[in-house]
Amino acid sequence: MISFEPTEDQVLMRDSVASFAKTTLLPRVRETEKLRAVPDDVRQLAHEMGLGLVAVPEACGGQGLGLTTSVLLEEELGAADAAAPFGFPGPHAFAHAVLELGSEEQASAELTDFSAADAHARFGAVAWSEAKPHPTRAGFTTVARTTASGFEITGKKSFVINAGLADRFVVFAQVDEAAGWHGIGAFLVRRDAAGLTIGARHDTLGLDAAWFGEIDLAAVQVPAAARLTAPRDGEGGTDVDRFVRATARFFARQALVVAARAVGLSRYAWELAREHCETRVAFGKPIGHFQAVAFTLSDRLMDVDSARWLVWRAAQAWDSLGGDGAPAAGSSARKKAEAHALKASAQAAAHALEAAMRCGDDCVGLHGGSGFIRDLVAEKLMRDAKQLALVCPTAEQLDQLATAVELGVPLDPALVLPTPDAQAIFT
């Protein structure tokens, strides 16, 4: 039955996270931004609250609360500071990548120690993008060559979120140079692996608290067991098909988390703008009493609300794939449900990220000159909104994915994955 009512537990958790966001994150937004990191005491608090592990299964040390609960909480965080959650301790995109691409054993081994009491400075990261396309072929420039005991990875990855903080990575690299984007693979690599060095930190437009940077891999040796081959995908097909599908699921789930933060940012920007339009007087009345202004606020409210409901719908679609009553692996019902979840996530994230940009833009615009000045937070919201749209597949890439699923054509990695030769993203 169509219902917009969170469970009692979800309401309690949401209220508690909202209170943390308002009392702890909000007053320190500029401090966090200037520090270019989440302060240690806030990190500690976030870790104690388990904020980095909400949707990670209990078997892997997580809270096992599912994506629906996760997006409810992420919206509250985003409504205070969309940048801070990227700097909270936790596996982040690494968890989604390992859960979709790895075996149960790999997921459990890699994720369990994020819940340890002393893990308040532990981060995971995904190294996907590269700064330049390969000059002569499709696919990653970073290559993973087969060795007697496993693989040797060489290359440079860019736009990696938490690159300088993570102690473990999922690194994507080319395993079959002749196969283009169909020839990619994923590998677990530890920070302390010989040959791995952290490169420069990027200066970015927004989300300053997040550590965006590069990693260099110079003949890094990993065992064969470090390769992630999507063994849990039960849909059949070739190894490549299975890997592409699992990678698309990884990006779709990660995009949904970012989209939830974007909904929070949109809501915050909308509330700030509304408040300003009620109190700022021009030509003898509050500027909100002019139609052009009021109608803009009305349109942005439609953006905020519709984005939230689309995000909820997609999260619920993923959650319905797990637990009791979920369709069996390999069944046609399962295929249909997964396709629905993929498409719903792509739609939700594309809409939410574009909506956030409109809300940030109009928040600055409706404030007029004061919106441009850093005394107010409006300018930060606008910068963060654009940056958010680049920390998961872009709306264009998500749209390709949604249509491919809708048309029922095989997923072409060059089109439906955020391949960096066309439009690089941060992961």
Partner 1 sequence: MIDFVLSKKQQELKEGIHNLGKYVIRPMSLQMDRQHEVPEPFLRNFMKLASGFKSRDLAESFGEGPAVTPQKGDKPGESNRTAAVGAEELAWADAAMLLCMPGPGLGGPPVRATGTTEQKQRFFGVFKDMENGPLQWGAYGLTEPNAGSDVAGIRSRCRKDGKHWVLNGRKCYITNGARAAWTVIFASVDLDQGRAGHRAFVVEKGTPGFFVGKIEEKLGLRANETAELVLEDCRVPEENLLGGEEAYQTKEGFMTAMKTFDNTRPLVAAMACGIGRAAYEYARDFVKDNYVLSRPIPRYSALAERLARVSRRLEAARMLVYRATYMADMGMPNAKEASMSKAAAGQAAISACIEAIEICGAHGSIATEHALLEKWFRDIKVYDIFEGTGNIQRVVISKRILEGLKAF
Q: Which residues bind partner 1 (CB under 8 A)?
A: 1-7, 10, 68, 274, 277-278, 286, 288-291, 294-295, 297-299, 301-302, 305-307, 309-310, 312-313, 316-317, 320, 346-347, 350-351, 396, 398-400, 402-404, 406-407, 409, 412, 414-415
For the chain, the maximum distance between any two Cα atoms, rounded to a whole number of angstroms, is 79
Q: Which is nearer to partner 1, 144 or 263 (CB)?
A: 263
| Closest separation in Å from C-beta 109 to partner 1 | 32
Q: Which is nearer to partner 1, 33 or 76 (CB)?
A: 76
Nearer to partner 1, 39 or 133 (CB): 133
The two three-digit tokens of residue 250, written as one number = 């990884």
Closest approach, Cβ 156 to partner 1, in A, equals 27
Cα distance between residue 47 and residue 241, in whole Å: 37
Measured from the CB atom, the residue of 5 and 118 that comes closer to partner 1 is: 5
Bridge partners, residue 156, by sequence = 216
- Pairwise CA distance, residues 364 & 269, whole Å: 9
Q: How far is the CB of 172 from partner 1 (least distance, A)?
A: 22
Q: Please state the length of the chain.
A: 427
CB 279 within 8 A of CB 288: no
**Which residue blocks in 280-290 are alpha helix, DSSP H?**
none
Classify residue 328 by burial, with Cβ atoms within 10 Å: 0-12, 13-18, 19+: exposed
Nearest approach in angstroms of CB 410 to partner 1 is 9
Q: Tell me, what amino acid is at 142?
A: T
- Give least dist CB 309 to partner 1, A: 4
Q: Which is nearer to partner 1, 14 or 156 (CB)?
A: 14
Return all residues near 148 (Cβ < 8 A) that are at least 6 apart. Answer: none
Q: Which is nearer to partner 1, 136 or 291 (CB)?
A: 291
CA 137 – CA 223 distance, rounded (Å): 27
Bridge partners, 157 (sequence order): 215
- In whole angstroms, how close is the CB of 319 to partner 1 at the nearest point? 9
Q: Which parts of 302-410 are beta strand (E)?
A: none
| Least separation in angstroms between CB 62 and partner 1 | 20
By beta-carbon proximity to partner 1, the closer residue of 191 and 289 is: 289
CB 107 within 8 A of CB 289: no
